[in-house]
A and B are shown apart, each in its own frame.
Chain A
Amino acid sequence: MGSIEVNELGRWFEGEAGRLVLYARQWLDQAAAEDVVQDVFVQLILQRQPPHHMKAWLCRAVRNAALKHRRTGDRRQRREEHYAAATPSCFESPAAGAIDARHAETALGELPEGEREIVVLRIWGGLTFEEIAGVVNASGAMVFRSYRRGLEQLRRKMGVLCQTKTN
């Protein structure tokens, strides 16, 4: 066991596991994403020293593991592509939300991969632009531009609802 306290680890797990699974879903199906997140938490436990920026470290580790998993399991992924429609939703359906979860998920899935990743990291990962730049190996300005572009596309795809809410 590393030097991370069990209680602290439990808090991080409770708070971040779902978001990290959502982040890993950018590249993988639900089961593979859960496997990747589980492995990342195992890595975290085995760390001798806790990372300085825990949230950014987790996101980066999940990203690396997911990309590696996607590379190795590319053929299997292609074979299982037609099952993608049956995969569970990425979001909980809120009882009375302003945005429909399915609608948002579809709009999010239509974004380019880079923009989608930044939007997910920003909104559901809770990372700052600086931290996102560190995770995706890009400049802060580029990350910010991509984020705004992604939001603009989301707004256009879910235009009616957003316009009624913003007006």
Chain B
Amino acid sequence: MPDKNELTPAELELELHLAGLQPAQHGIKPEIVFFRAGQKSALRRLRRWQAASSLMVLATLGLWAWHPSPKHVSESPEMVFQDHRHRAPQPAVGVARALPSERWVRRSGTREYLRLRTEVLTRGLEVLPSPSLTPAPSKSVDAVSHWRRFVTLTPAAGPPAAHGPQT
């Protein structure tokens, strides 16, 4: 780095003379400087608060806009038969789903019953199959005889009960 000693004596003397000139008086007052500094400092603090509150408002608005409102299902509920006996245990879910009824009708007997029921409801009793001639199981016969005995012994059973003792 160049040094002051590298200047010639003439340059040094000129430098010395020029340094003898004092800068003119200025009109800056220190109290104004301090006042401005305090003003700026307070403004800076205010800006910090304003920025923080603006960020919070923006975050609130963003959350409000981003969060979707819950959807309402307008479908009419479908009645299905669910056979819970053969259904594998499943975790509980909050929303009920409409599933195809075929999935829940698994047993052939149940399916047959449902088919027959639908047929009867739509076309009448003519669709019922003719009764078979095979004898009823003994258990069923016992149940019928038990019922006849009950009807016979009941006194307030009406006209059939009146003929009971004669038989």
Contacts and interface: CB of A to CB of B under 8 A. Distances in A.
Interface string A59-92: 0000000000000000000000000000011111
User: What 5 pairs across the A-B complex have the smallest Cβ distances?
Assistant: A144-B2, A45-B37, A18-B23, A22-B23, A91-B21
A13 B11 CA distance: 30
Interface bin, chain B: 20 to 34
B13 A99 contact: no
B127 interface: no
A1 to B, nearest CB: 7
Contacts of A10: 30
Contacts of A144: 2, 6
B7 interface: yes
B19 interface: yes
A121 interface: no
B20 A92 contact: no
A99 B33 contact: no
Given A42-B40, A46-B40, A162-B14, A22 B24 contact: yes
Interface in B1-55: 1-2, 6-7, 9-11, 13-15, 17-28, 30, 32-34, 36-38, 40-41, 44
Contacts, number: 112
B33 to A, nearest CB: 5
A56 interface: no
Given A38-B36, A46-B37, A104-B18, A21 B30 contact: no
B6 to A, nearest CB: 7
Nearest to A162: B14
A34 B28 contact: yes
A46 B35 CA distance: 12
A148 B17 contact: no
A36 B43 CA distance: 20
Given A1-B37, A148-B11, A99 B18 contact: yes
A124 B37 CA distance: 27
Contacts of A52: none
The residue in B28, B36, B38 that gathers the most chain A C-beta atoms within 10 A of its C-beta is B28
A143 B30 CA distance: 33
A94 B6 CA distance: 29
A13 B30 contact: yes
Nearest to A107: B18
B148 to A, nearest CB: 108
A41 B33 contact: yes
Given A13-B33, A129-B1, A130-B1, A99 B26 contact: no
A140 B17 contact: no
A151 B14 CA distance: 8
A166 interface: yes
A154 B18 contact: yes
A138 interface: no
Contact of A89 (B2, B20, B24): B24
Contact of A94 (B2, B11, B21): B21
